[in-house]
């Protein structure tokens, strides 16, 4: 039974570029949430996808957008990258309205 | 919105000692309180959680207590071992939202 997977593991981008991160949820899960974790901080909620729609959104600018596919996998897109976007991006999956979330290994994004 | 404060930021103990990490939350409607363990370079892992209709929950060497009146909850680890060394995050969320707000984390160091 595969857990949550994310790709790529690491990514280096230049300011102003765009990036796409990918997440596959744990088998049987249909809800995907994305978090940004800056160094030394707790994860900060970006948004959550359920039934291919954005269900909840945190306090992040429109430069952050996402998508969920019919197979429940998800993408996080960030446009016009800033140095401050450098962080570990975590994906977490859950089933329907259940509270328990399971995290993926994350994608380390470095913006230079 | 919800605000979660976590203390201490660093906790150093000797192997075999007990460790206690405390969190407070601001939204009285929060009703789900998970704890995550994050080892260096790895994903956050759910180690224990508690719902607001329960005052205490135990799982082997770890336990969580909840005081709804005071709006605080704590993680207790007994007989600590070096492999318990990690960053621990508390979080709070409420039904209908299911989006956890995380504390800033506690770095637990267990000295052999």
Residues 6-25 of A with CB under 8 A from B: none
Please tell me which residue of chain B has the smallest CA distance to A39: B104
Q: What's the pLDDT tens digit per position in A15-43?
A: 999 999 999 999 999 999 999 999 889 99
The three-state secondary structure class of A112 is coil
Q: What's the pLDDT tens digit per position in B70-90?
A: 999 999 999 999 999 999 999
Q: To the nearest whole percent, how much of chain B has pLDDT over 70?
A: 96
Q: How far A39 CA lies from chain B's nearest CA (Å)?
A: 10
Of B32, B44, B45, the CB nearest to A99: B32
Q: How far B107 CA lies from chain A's nearest CA (Å)?
A: 9
Tell me what the pLDDT averaged over chain A comes to: 94
The answer to whether the CB atoms of A103 and B44 lie below 8 A apart is yes
CB B34 within 8 A of CB B96: no
Q: Which residue has the tokens 């994305």?
A: A34
Q: What's the pLDDT tens digit per position in A82-102?
A: 999 999 999 999 998 677 889
- Inform me whether the pLDDT recorded for B69 exceeds 80: yes
Greatest C-alpha distance within chain A: 38
Calpha distance A80→A82 (Å, rounded): 7
Residues of A in contact with B35 (CB under 8 A): none
Calpha distance A69→A67 (Å, rounded): 7
Calpha distance B88→B106 (Å, rounded): 5
The answer to whether the CB atoms of A100 and B46 lie below 8 A apart is yes
The answer to whether the CB atoms of A100 and B36 lie below 8 A apart is no
Q: To the nearest whole percent, how much of chain A has pLDDT over 70?
A: 98
| Cross-strand pairs, B22 | B7, B74
Residues 72-91 of A with CB under 8 A from B: 90
Using the CB atoms, write b or e for A76-96: b if 16+ within 10 Å.
bebeebeeebbbbbbbbbbee
Residues of B in contact with A4 (CB under 8 A): 43
Q: What's the pLDDT tens digit per position in A46-75?
A: 999 998 999 889 999 999 999 999 999 999
| pLDDT at A9 (0 to 100) | 96
């Amino acid at each position: 039974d595969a857990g949550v997977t994310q790709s790529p593991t690491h990514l280096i981008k230049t300011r102003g570029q765009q990036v796409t991160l990918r997440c596959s949820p744990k088998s049987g899960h249909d809800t995907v949430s994305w978090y940004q974790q800056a160094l030394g901080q707790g994860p900060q909620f970006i948004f959550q996808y359920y039934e291919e729609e954005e269900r909840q959104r945190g306090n992040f600018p429109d430069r952050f957008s996402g998508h969920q596919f019919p197979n429940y996998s998800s993408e996080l897109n960030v446009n016009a990258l800033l140095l401050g976007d450098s962080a570990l991006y975590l994906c977490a999956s859950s089933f329907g309205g259940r509270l328990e979330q399971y995290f993926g290994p994350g994608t380390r994004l470095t913006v230079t | 919105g919800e605000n979660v404060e976590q203390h201490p930021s660093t906790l150093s103990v000797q192997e075999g000692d007990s460790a206690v990490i405390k969190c407070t939350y601001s939204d009285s409607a929060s009703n789900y309180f998970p704890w995550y363990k994050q080892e260096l370079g790895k994903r956050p892992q759910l180690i224990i959680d508690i719902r607001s209709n329960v005052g205490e929950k135990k799982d082997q060497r770890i336990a969580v207590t909840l005081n709804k009146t005071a709006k605080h909850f704590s993680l207790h680890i007994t007989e600590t071992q070096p492999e318990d060394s990690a960053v621990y995050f508390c979080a709070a969320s409420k039904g209908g939202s299911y989006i956890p707000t995380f504390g800033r984390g506690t770095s637990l160091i267990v000295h052999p």
